[in-house]
Amino acid sequence: MGLYDLIKRDYSEELLDRFLRYAAIDTTSDLAVSQERIPSTEGQWALLRLLESELLEMGFNNLDLNASGHLIAKIPGNPASGETIGFIAHVDTSYDVPGEDVRPLVHRSYSGGAINLADGITLSPANSPLLERYKGETIITSDGRTLLGADDKAGIAEIMTALSWIRRNKSWLHRPLEVVFTPDEETGNGMSRFPREKLKSSYCFAVDGGEEGEMEIECFYAWIAKISFSGYPVHPGSGRGRLVNAVSMAAMFVNMLPRNESPEATDGRYGNYWAHEVRGGIDRAELTVFYRSFDSEGIERRSKALESLARAVEAAFPGGRVTIILKEQYRNVQEALGRYPNLITRLRKAVLDSGIQPIERSVRGGSDGALLTAMGVPTLNTFAGGINFHSRLEWVALPAMARATAVILNLMQ
């Protein structure tokens, strides 16, 4: 019996229990707060402290939970010598949809077809074809009111279950390990205070991908634009020729973003940009725009285009002012991973040894792994099994989580 079969048979219920326990904690991150405070929300601390206590209960005592919410566990190898490798997952969930009071639904022996959720929302093979793969298996969905949190609590549950395997199978040989749980991955700010000097791993694996078997060999370059619009408030009764409305300025800017370069209009290797958040009033408005590309030239072109839009809005609103700050979030990991071909080979073999063919993809997103790679620790992203991330239709199949756990253990050997 292979490792995957053993995990599926003997550890599926532990995997499920862990995932449901973690998913129940509201760890929604807050983009605005994360500019000043990491973690940006108290719920993230609740999960980090729970993980710390569970690691201690397993007997892993070399732990460091710092003031910025980075939990690092160091686990001696068996034998003690050898190259140290790391595994990373994030505790926060997306703020794009509600993440409070998550109530996962467990569908044992899924029979196929549509699953009716709250508020008229339906999950079905029509809008999520991968469901067909898991007929007769256990799948977990949200109840339709919130996201599920498989991004990335499935990854956390899988890493923790792999450590549980190590603790119960004391003669099982594995490398020295480091496990890292991070805050605020979804805001892009969680790694800004990461204590790189405390990490000894030669390389890491981020358990933060999607479909079963997926390995992410490339990601976007990601940038963020923070755009401020300063208006000139005047009573609307006497505003002719004088009033400058910052809300109208922000609206014009958003409307000028190319629709053919939006996330909903692009796929494959086409980059995009989109308005992510807008706040404010007549006097002042703040707009956040995210933009992505697989190549640095695409980022440079979009950066210049955003600057041009800012000047166009100023020209259209005499007396108004637009300021724009552009900031890099993460880089395409291919920049660094090209120098470490053995890392890709190692992950490919770990997936193959779990019993399936790897699916190698250029992912239209990124993770803390990209940021860690930029810090000098090459990090590949591997699957956690979740589907429809950042959505009320998010779901994960329990066999995919078992497979991910097997892959983690293969990498640890």
- The answer for residues whose C-beta is within 8 angstroms of residue 360's C-beta and 6 or more apart is 215, 217, 348
Rounded Cα distance, 307 and 304, in Å: 5
Q: Which of 26, 92, 212, 214 is catalytic?
A: 92
CB 111 within 8 A of CB 369: no
Backbone angles phi and psi of 31, in degrees to 5: -60, -45
Burial class (CB in 10 A: 0-12, 13-18, 19+), 409: buried
DSSP per residue, 204-221 = EEEEEE-STTEEEEEE-E
Looking up tokens 């499935």 gives 154
Cα separations in angstroms, 323 against 285, 311, 314, 318: 11, 9, 10, 14
Task: Mark whether 92 is an active-site residue.
Answer: yes
* Amino acid letter, residue 152: D
* Active-site position among 26, 184, 185, 212: 185
User: Does 185 participate in catalysis according to the annotation?
Assistant: yes
Using the Cα atoms of residue 331, residue 224, residue 155 and residue 208 in order, give the sign of their dihedral: negative
Whether the CB-CB separation of 386 and 395 falls below 8 Å is answered with yes
65: which residues sit within 8 A by CB, 6+ positions away?
48, 49, 52, 71, 72
Widest pairwise Cα distance in the chain? 82
Kindly report the backbone phi and psi dihedral angles of residue 362, in degrees, each rounded to the nearest multiple of 5, phi listed first.
Answer: -90, 110
User: What is the spatial distance between Cα 102 and Cα 153, in angstroms, rounded to a whole number?
Assistant: 12
Q: For the beta carbon of residue 170, count every other beta carbon within 10 angstroms.
A: 7
Tokens of 84: 């140290």
Instruction: Determine the Cα–Cα distance for residues 90 and 156; give it in Å rounded to an integer.
Output: 7
Which of 161, 79, 158 lies closest to 400, judged by CA? Answer: 158
Residues with active-site annotation: 92, 185
